């Protein structure tokens, strides 16, 4: 097994996409069943194939001189379906370490086994963070039953990235296929951020309909970032754009949500957004480079405050 070690050169890549899904493994296994995949594709009006291989993802970003954080979501209990293997993603990302940065995912409902797997993924496979989707995984992040997991991630120094707000998975299906949006209310993460102040957290997406909550949490908690994935910048809530230009200029991250939203479209729409020239490189690369420690320096949420 080749343990992942990043070869991403933060000074030469033009952007770092912090939100890219691996939804198909090397054997053709899908992370979601076909009904959920189709519902998501309709919701996003996806123009790209929904299941590129990890190798195809690597080539997509390499051709654009960009780096990407890649992951799956382990919702084994919630969906009754095994995920794409985080171990396999990390091993295969090691072969493309010039452009790919692997995150793992564990099923919080598996309790102590999830804690053991998270430790193994970080220590043996070299993953840099973990992706969680509370609605898909059917859990409330502020429930103290999951605090041992957050404690472990804090100890390991890994990033915890949480889906927040609306989800396209299950959208338009009867009952949304049982997926509960309330678990992705970002206010459920405020307790986690407060009780684990050294756990770096990312609130993924503009958090609609709770964008103001995400803005408040990221402003209040030094250890919390926001990624801008899952929405074209054309449709960003105006208060999010305003804060990204000012108070949150060091806390906001470029993320596309590839393959449902292509980075080319996101970047083209971002170029038309009213963002200050000095803030653009922070969002597109520098904030993520600092958050992930890719230059080998200590992480700092706000370098201006250092």
pTM of the model: 0.94
Q: At what angle do helices 86-93 and 54-62 cross, to 10 degrees?
A: 40
Task: Give CA 88 to chain center in angstroms.
Answer: 18
pLDDT tens digits, one per residue of 116-153: 999 999 999 999 999 999 999 999 999 999 999 999 99
pLDDT tier, 302 (very low <50, low <70, confident <90, very high otherwise): low
Confidence check: pLDDT of 49 > 70:
no
How far is it, in rounded angstroms, from Cα 277 to Cα 6? 29
Give the tens place of pLDDT for each residue, 189-202. Answer: 999 999 999 999 99
**Which domains occur in the chain, in start order?**
15-305 (3.20.20.140)
Distance CA 161, CA 202 (A): 5
Rounded to whole angstroms, how far apart are CA atoms 277 and 256? Answer: 20
* Residue partners of 11: CB distance under 8 A and separation at least 6: none
Question: Do the beta carbons of residue 115 and residue 149 sit within 8 Å?
Answer: yes
Residue in the structure block whose two tokens are 């996003």: 44
Count CB atoms within 10 A of the CB of residue 53: 16
- Helix then strand then coil, in percent of the chain rounded to 5, is 45, 15, 45
Closest C-alpha among 228, 272, 235 to residue 249: 228
Inform me whether the pLDDT recorded for 39 exceeds 80: no
From residue 66, alpha-carbon distances to 97, 215, 233 in Å are 12, 27, 19
Phi, psi at 16, each rounded to 5°: -130, 110
* Helix or strand run (H / E) with residue 239: helix 238-245
Rounded CA separation 170/183 (Å):
15
Q: What is the CA 284 to chain-centroid distance, rounded?
A: 15
* CA 20/CA 72 separation, integer angstroms: 9
Angle formed at CA 227 by CA 195 and CA 261, multiple of 5 degrees: 140
pLDDT in tens, 58-91: 999 999 999 999 999 999 999 998 999 999 999 9
Mean pLDDT of 254-262: 95
CA distance 73 to 253: 20
Tell me the β-bridge partners of 101. 69
Distance from C-alpha of 88 to C-alpha of 208, rounded to nearest angstrom: 32
Please write the tens of the pLDDT for every residue from 204-257. 999 999 999 999 999 999 999 999 999 999 999 999 999 999 999 999 999 999
Query: In 3D, which of 136, 167, 183, 128 has the Cα closest to residue 18?
Result: 128
Local confidence band at 169 (pLDDT 50, 70, 90 cut-offs): confident
Q: How far is the C-alpha of 105 from the C-alpha of 103, rounded, in Å?
A: 7
Q: How far is CA 246 from CA 199, 207, 282, 297, 304, in A?
A: 24, 19, 12, 24, 12
**9-33, pLDDT tens digit by residue?**
999 999 999 999 998 777 677 777 6
């Amino acid at each position: 097994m080749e343990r992942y070690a990043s070869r991403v050169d933060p000074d030469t890549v033009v952007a770092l996409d912090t939100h890219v899904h691996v939804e198909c493994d090397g054997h053709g296994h899908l992370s979601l069943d076909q009904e959920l995949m189709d519902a998501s594709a309709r919701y996003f009006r996806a123009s790209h194939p929904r299941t590129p291989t990890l190798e195809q993802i690597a080539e997509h970003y390499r051709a654009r001189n960009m780096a990407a954080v890649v992951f799956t979501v382990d919702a084994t209990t919630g969906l009754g379906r095994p995920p794409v293997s985080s171990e396999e993603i990390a091993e295969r990302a090691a072969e493309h370490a010039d452009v790919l940065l692997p995150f793992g995912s564990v099923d919080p409902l598996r309790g102590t086994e999830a804690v053991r797997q998270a430790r193994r993924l970080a220590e043996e496979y070299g993953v840099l963070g973990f992706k969680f989707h509370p609605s898909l995984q059917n859990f409330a992040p502020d429930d103290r039953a999951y605090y041992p997991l957050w404690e472990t991630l804090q100890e390991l120094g890994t990033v915890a990235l949480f889906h927040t707000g609306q989800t396209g998975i299950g959208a338009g299906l009867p009952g949304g296929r049982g997926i509960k949006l309330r678990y992705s209310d970002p206010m459920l993460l405020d307790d986690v951020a407060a009780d684990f102040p050294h756990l770096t957290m990312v609130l993924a997406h503009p958090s609609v309909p709770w964008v103001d909550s995400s803005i408040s949490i990221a402003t209040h908690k030094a250890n919390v970032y926001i990624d801008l994935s899952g929405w074209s910048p054309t449709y960003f809530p105006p208060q999010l754009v305003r804060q990204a230009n000012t108070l949150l200029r060091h806390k906001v991250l470029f993320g596309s949500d590839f393959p449902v939203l292509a980075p080319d479209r996101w970047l083209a729409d971002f170029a038309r957004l009213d963002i200050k020239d000095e803030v653009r490189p922070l969002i597109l690369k520098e904030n993520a480079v600092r958050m992930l420690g890719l230059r080998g320096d200590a992480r700092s949420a706000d370098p201006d405050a250092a």
